[in-house]
Amino acid sequence: MKLRICHLYGNLMNTYGDNGNLLMLQYTAKESGYEVETEIVSVGDDLDTSRYDLIFFGGGQDYEQSVVSRDLQTKKEALCAYIEAGGVILGICGGFQLLGKYYQTLKGETYPGIGAIDFYTISKKDRLIGDTEMYSDRFQETYFGYENHAGRTYLGDKVQGLGRTVQGYGNNDDDKVEGVVYKNAFGSYFHGPFLVRNPHFAQRLVDLAMNKEAQIKN
């Protein structure tokens, strides 16, 4: 069996070691006995989600996000349908932000996301930086990471965070919530990279993508 991975905007959204997440997904899949095929889908490319079992969407700076945000609108319908159907996707930092409604910069510029999940992000001058630990009540697991972001993400009333922060800030400096989970879509501010520091979560993603378990609960 083969795990087919889409590295969404992998040539643009790859800051803070996010490519390590892709390497960890590939390693985990191979250790689980699967072949792995990875493709970058970027600006100007068509996105045929039927070709993939898992999508990884890493982080980037404001300039890269502005470019990606514009192009992402051409892929919005396909991505939203993929997520609603239970497709597995992990967004880190900027990729996480663009799964929501919008990202607003310090200059007041607004970059639209795909609105697949009910949340929005606004930037503030002070960055949220440091080692982070969260506990996921949903999965009863602890995750470790490192965060460095100016954006503050606020989830809608009916949207569940990936976990609650034990150390660090998480999505913002107000509610002690980190990341998001919706069906089989996950977002997080954890760098480090996230999956290398939390191999049990990498295994969860691979298992979901290969249909070993059905996570959809929303």
CATH of the domain at 52: 3.40.50.880
Average of per-residue pLDDT values in the chain: 94
Asked if pLDDT for residue 19 goes beyond 90, the answer is no
Quote the DSSP letter at residue 115: -
| Residue 217 maps to a domain | no
Asked if pLDDT for residue 203 goes beyond 70, the answer is yes
Asked if pLDDT for residue 103 goes beyond 80, the answer is yes
| Residue 116 maps to a domain | yes
User: Domain range holding 34?
Assistant: 2-210
Give the mean model confidence (pLDDT) for residues 49-59.
96
The pLDDT, as a whole number, for residue 166 is 96
The single residue of 6, 93, 149, 200 carrying the catalytic annotation is 93
The pLDDT, as a whole number, for residue 217 is 67
Give the count of domains, the chain. Answer: 1
Identify whether 93 is a catalytic site residue. Answer: yes
Q: Is 127 labelled as part of a ligand binding site? A: yes
Asked if pLDDT for residue 89 goes beyond 70, the answer is yes
Distance (Å, rounded) from C-alpha 54 to C-alpha 132? Answer: 25
Instruction: Return the CA Rg of the chain.
Output: 16
List, in sequence order, the alpha helices (H) in the chain.
19-31, 62-72, 76-84, 94-97, 194-197, 199-209
pLDDT band at 94 (very low <50, low <70, confident <90, very high): very high
